[in-house]
Amino acid sequence: MMKFNISTFGCQMNEHDTEKIIWTLEKIGYQQTGYRDEADIIIFNTCAVRKTAEDRVFGQLGELQDLKRKNPNLIIAVCGCLMQKEEIRDYFLKKHRHIDIVFGTNNIHKLPQLIDRYLRTNEKVIDVIEDTKEISENIDSNRKYFYKAFVDIMYGCNNFCSYCIVPYTRGRERSRSVKSIINEVENLAQTGCKEITLLGQNVNSYGKTLDEKITFSQLLTILNNIEGIERIRFMTSHPKDFSDDLIDAYKSLDKLCNHLHLPVQSGSNRILKLMNRKYTKEEYLDKIYKIRECVPDIAITTDIIVGFPGETEEDFKETLDLVKKAKFDSAFTFLYSIREGTNAAKMTNQIPDEIKHERFQRLLDVLYPIGLESNQKLINTVQKILVEETSKSDENILSGRTESNKLVHFKGNNNIIGQIVDVEITDAKTFTLEGRLV
């Protein structure tokens, strides 16, 4: 029996693609292993969003050379976003000659065929579809958790933010049909799934490529009616398209979780324009104020890039000011990373690393106390927690998430994993809460 080992880099899209790869391989009788040294095939599902993500894959691929020397029959396959870019793909293949199979984000379903071709010919197999309008529906996922699941609703991105490589790795926007999404969610509900996270680079664009007339909030309304599903989340919404009908959805749909991830990237209007984000700091803040007014307990999180080309001290201070006004519950913060092929990579006024790092630290110094304060507000409240897993260090400690997506640790027996329980919050830290089962 063939054994495979898979490593995943990058975002939820990749995590979910990995679940599809696992399903595809288990369907042909392969067995997953957690150990690279006992695998017959090692797969890397890669991310291209920042240079650090690329370097990590590159380094770990280098380490596989030893394993391949010990076991010449070992098959090494690389897929994901890095392989969607011709220059990066060619560079990897040139530097790491032990790569046997390369496939892309659009042809996961073909993996068994590609392995078969490799085994028959013993020649490198490279099969990448750079852009496609097609969506392959005859693929399922072997999901990591039974109680929560990712559900793709759209693929690709048309926004071309000037720093971002994703439109070049994931192709143009295309939406899945309502029917196939409903089918998938109904099946999930039947197998005990309580929480779904709808995935897309820009979920507000849902439906634009479909013949049927449907918007993202209409899709949410339909999914809200599926019995068994208790929580609905989504990732990611773009501020330029974040509209009143989505605010109404938060008010009217009981299953839509009170959490919004709305990446702002910068607080400077000049930088936002150079980033091609199509909104201003003021417009962004207005949207935040409005949703907080309508949904007072909503948690708002964001993404921020520090050190975009040409970012001045004044620009950066605008970001700090926005953070103070928006009062984010938490944020993913990134040092700007040059991605070849994007417009920002051509800009000549790149920011020196020391300045990027110094600003990054100052940003965290503003973000953390705000996050802590918002967590402290939950002390002594009772929250509904979806119980997710036991702690790695102590099997009597469970972790789970509030509706607002905050991580909570509390004592309990692992037979309640997958259930939604009441937990009283007893303490708050910057990134986590502590509580006790009620």
Which residues lie near ligand SF4 (CB under 6 A)? Answer: 157, 159-161, 164, 166-167, 201-202, 238
Closer to ligand SF4 by Cβ: residue 221 or 276: 276
Cβ-based nearer residue to ligand SAH, 125 or 164: 164
- Segment contacting ligand SAH (CB under 6 A): 209-217, 311-319, 334-342, 347-355? 334-342
Among the listed residues 250, 336, 360, 410, the single contact to ligand SAH using CB under 6 A: 336
CB-based contacts of 267, cutoff 8 Å, min separation 6: 281, 318, 319, 320, 321, 322, 323
In 3-state terms, what secondary structure has residue 195?
Answer: strand
Residues forming a β-bridge with 300: 260
Interatomic CA distance for residues 363 and 313, integer angstroms: 12
Report residue 298: phi and psi, to 5°: -70, 140
Report residue 29 CA to chain centroid gap: 29
Binds 167: which of ligand SF4, ligand SAH, ligand F3S, none (CB < 5-8 Å by kind) = ligand SF4
49 contributes a contact to ligand SAH by CB under 6 A: yes
Of 162 and 217, which CB lies nearer to ligand SAH in the complex structure?
162
**Measured distance CA(280)–CA(258) in Å, rounded:** 24
Which among 168, 165, 238, 239 has a CA at the least distance from the CA of 201? 238
- Whether 160 contacts 199, CB under 8 Å: no
The sign of the torsion formed by the CA atoms of 230, 234, 240, 241 equals negative
- Residue tagged 């192709």 (tokens): 171
Q: Could you tell which of ligand F3S, ligand SAH, ligand SF4, none binds residue 336, using a CB distance below 5 to 8 A set by kind?
A: ligand SAH
Residue written as tokens 């398209």? 241
**Given the complex with ligand SAH, which of 166 and 229 has the nearer CB atom?**
166
Per rule CB under 6 A, is residue 356 in the interface with ligand SAH? no
79 - beta bridge partners? 45
Task: Give yes or no for residue 303 binding ligand SAH (CB under 6 A).
Answer: yes
**Among candidates 238, 183, 174, which has minimal Cα distance to 210?**
174
Q: How far is the CB of 236 from ligand F3S (least distance, A)?
A: 10
User: What is the spatial distance between Cα 270 and Cα 327, in angstroms, rounded to a whole number?
Assistant: 22
Nearest CA-CA partner of 300 in 327, 324, 322: 327
Contact partner, 160, from ligand SAH, ligand F3S, ligand SF4, none, Cβ < 5-8 Å per class: ligand SF4
Beta carbon of residue 202, minimum distance to ligand SF4 (angstroms, whole number): 5
Please pick, from the candidates 265, 266, 301, 402, the single residue that binds ligand SAH as defined by CB under 6 A.
Answer: 265
157 appears as a binding residue in the annotation:
yes
How far apart, in whole angstroms, are the C-alpha atoms of residue 349 and residue 57?
28
- Closest CA relative to residue 193, chosen from 240, 137, 146: 146
| 81, 105 contact by CB (below 8 A) | yes
The footprint of ligand F3S (CB under 6 A) covers 10-11, 13-14, 47-49, 81, 166, 169-170
Name which position in 170, 176, 194, 238 contacts ligand SAH (CB under 6 A).
238
Nearer to ligand SF4, 343 or 390 (CB): 343
Q: Is 294 annotated as a binding residue?
A: no
Residue 246 near ligand SAH by CB under 6 A: no
Q: How far apart are CA 26 and CA 153, in angstroms?
A: 24
CB of 375 to ligand SAH, least distance (A): 23
- Residue from 45, 46, 162, 201 touching ligand SAH (CB under 6 A): that is 201
Please report, as ranges, the residues that interact with ligand SAH according to CB under 6 A.
49-50, 163-164, 166, 201-202, 236, 238, 263, 265, 303, 305, 334, 336-337, 339
Q: Residues annotated as binding site for [4Fe-4S] cluster?
A: 11, 47, 81, 157, 161, 164
